[in-house]
């Protein structure tokens, strides 16, 4: 969808294309772009087809590039999509900067562009397009930090649920959040390279106020990068810890099953010793005497094994308590 915005008394106002005056500076907002709209932009503003393909590529990294009649800046913005895994991702937004207009192109919708059109960003002006780009990146850092805090809260909630019972659904949610953190980390690093290139090159003409804003944006971007790295490390460590817990629980279950199989093997050995080719003792005298003897041997062997297992476990726990006291 293509929307046209002009500035009236400090606020962005949507306007029809036919109502735009030649002297007005315009923001052309293109979200959820279609093939027909791509063709329209290409023909109307003489845009490079490869440029448009790069902008709508979900994996395109941040960059800035000069052309003959315009400049191109691609910024990675955070995107939250509910009821989708992973819910937190990023998307590239291409800003095509002309002398009298700026075109933002995105293959999906995102909170940053909605905030722009809803006049939620202070000091936003169409009279200074480089400042407009910097405001977009500043808002993107704010949304990155907000989403990172939400991801951290979800990770803590999942950890509490996993402590009570380990289910596949919680582990899948944790894996999805780790994937989101990877997306955020990659996009923030790409945005950081873009900020450094904007500072080094003269593609965007920045005044002193823009330079100060750029410094603040770099600080926020680094903070978001550090938070994303920290949360990613915590999430990876949490998944490794619960993988160890699952492995330990499985070992405990296998140990109990091994104990049961050993007990059954003892009784099976005693009972099968007197098979078809070996005469059962006291078989000719009283039939139930042999049954009592075999059953008694089974009970004695099972009891002996259980007593030995109990003594070994008790000794093991005693040694663990001694080690724990030494550590203290």
Residue 31 resides in a domain = yes
Positive or negative, the CA dihedral 276, 280, 285, 291 is: negative
Residue 261 resides in a domain = no
- What is the mean pLDDT of each successive set of 10 residues along the chain, which is 328 residues long? 86 87 88 88 88 87 89 93 86 92 89 88 84 91 94 88 73 87 93 91 84 90 93 85 75 74 67 60 57 70 73 70 62
Question: Within a 13 Å sphere around the CA of 94, how many CA atoms are in the beta-carbon half?
Answer: 28
Q: Does 58 share its domain with 181?
A: yes
Q: Which two tokens stand for residue 162?
A: 């996993």
- Last residue within a domain, chosen from 206, 230, 245: 245
- Last residue within a domain, chosen from 226, 245, 264: 245
Q: Does 240 share its domain with 288?
A: no
Q: Does 235 share its domain with 134?
A: yes
Residue 263 resides in a domain = no
CATH number, domain of 114, equals 3.30.460.20
Q: Does 119 share its domain with 25?
A: yes
Q: Does 27 share its domain with 68?
A: yes
The pLDDT assigned to 194 comes to 92
Distances in whole angstroms, Cα of residue 259 to Cα of each of 223, 253, 302, 306:
54, 10, 10, 9
Residue 130 resides in a domain = yes
Q: Does 201 share its domain with 93?
A: yes
Secondary structure of the chain as H, E, C letters? CEEEEEEECCEEEEECHHHCCCCCCEEEEEECCCHHHHHHHHHHHCCCHHHHHHHCCCCCCCEEEECCCCEEEEEEEEEECCCCCCCEEEEEEEEEECCCEEEEEECCCCHHHHHHHCCCCCCCCCCCHHHHHHHHHHHHHHHHHHHHHHHHHHHHHHHHHHHHCCCHHHHHHHHHHHHHHHHHHHHHHHHHHHHHHHHHCCCCCCCHHHHHHHHHHHHHHHHHHHHHHHHHHHHHHHHHHHHHHHHHHHHHHHHHHHHHHHHHHHHHHHHHHCCCCCCCCCCCCCHHHHHHHHHHHHHHHHHHHHHHHHHHHHHHHHHHHHHHHHHC
Q: Does 300 share its domain with 214?
A: no
Looking at the structure of the chain, the number of domains it has is 2
Residue 211 resides in a domain = yes
Residue 283 resides in a domain = yes
Q: Does 240 share its domain with 283?
A: no
Residue 281 resides in a domain = yes
Q: Does 12 share its domain with 100?
A: yes
The pLDDT assigned to 108 comes to 87
Q: Which two tokens stand for residue 89?
A: 């991702």
Report yes or no: 87 and 100 within 8 Å, Cβ to Cβ.
Answer: no
Q: In terms of residue numbers, what domain contains 119? A: 2-245
Residue 109 resides in a domain = yes
Q: Does 141 share its domain with 290?
A: no
Contacts of residue 66, defined as CB under 8 A and 6 or more positions apart, other chains included, come to 72, 203
Cα separation, 17 vs 221, whole angstroms: 36
Q: Does 241 share its domain with 287?
A: no
Q: Does 24 share its domain with 143?
A: yes
């Amino acid at each position: 969808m293509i929307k046209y915005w002009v500035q009236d008394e400090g606020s962005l106002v949507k306007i029809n294309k036919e109502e735009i005056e030649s002297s007005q500076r315009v923001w052309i907002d293109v979200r959820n772009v279609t093939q027909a709209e791509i063709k329209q932009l290409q023909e109307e503003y003489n845009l490079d087809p490869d440029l448009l393909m790069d902008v709508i590529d979900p994996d395109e990294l941040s960059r800035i590039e000069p052309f003959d009649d315009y400049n191109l800046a691609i910024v990675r913005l955070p995107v939250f999509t509910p009821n989708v895994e992973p819910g937190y991702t990023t998307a590239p937004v291409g800003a095509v900067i002309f002398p009298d207009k700026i075109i933002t192109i995105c293959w999906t919708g995102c909170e940053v562009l909605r905030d722009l059109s809803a006049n939620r960003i202070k000091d936003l002006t169409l009279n200074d397009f480089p400042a407009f780009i910097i405001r977009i990146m500043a808002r993107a850092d704010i949304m990155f930090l907000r989403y990172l805090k939400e991801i951290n809260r979800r990770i803590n909630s999942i950890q509490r649920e996993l402590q009570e019972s380990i289910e596949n659904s919680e582990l899948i949610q944790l894996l999805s959040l780790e994937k989101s953190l990877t997306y955020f980390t990659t996009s923030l690093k790409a945005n950081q390279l873009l900020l450094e290139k904007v500072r080094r090159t003269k593609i965007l003409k920045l005044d002193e106020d823009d330079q100060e804003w750029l410094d603040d944006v770099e600080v926020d971007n680094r903070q978001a990068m550090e938070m994303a790295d920290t949360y990613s490390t915590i999430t990876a460590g949490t998944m490794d810890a619960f993988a160890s817990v699952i492995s330990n629980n499985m070992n405990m279950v296998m140990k109990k099953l091994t104990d049961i199989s050993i007990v059954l093997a003892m009784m099976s050995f005693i009972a099968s010793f007197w098979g078809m080719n070996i005469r059962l003792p006291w078989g000719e005298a009283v039939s139930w005497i042999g049954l009592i003897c075999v059953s008694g041997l089974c009970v004695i062997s099972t009891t002996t094994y259980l007593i030995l297992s109990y003594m070994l476990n008790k000794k093991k726990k005693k040694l663990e308590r001694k080690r724990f006291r030494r550590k203290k």
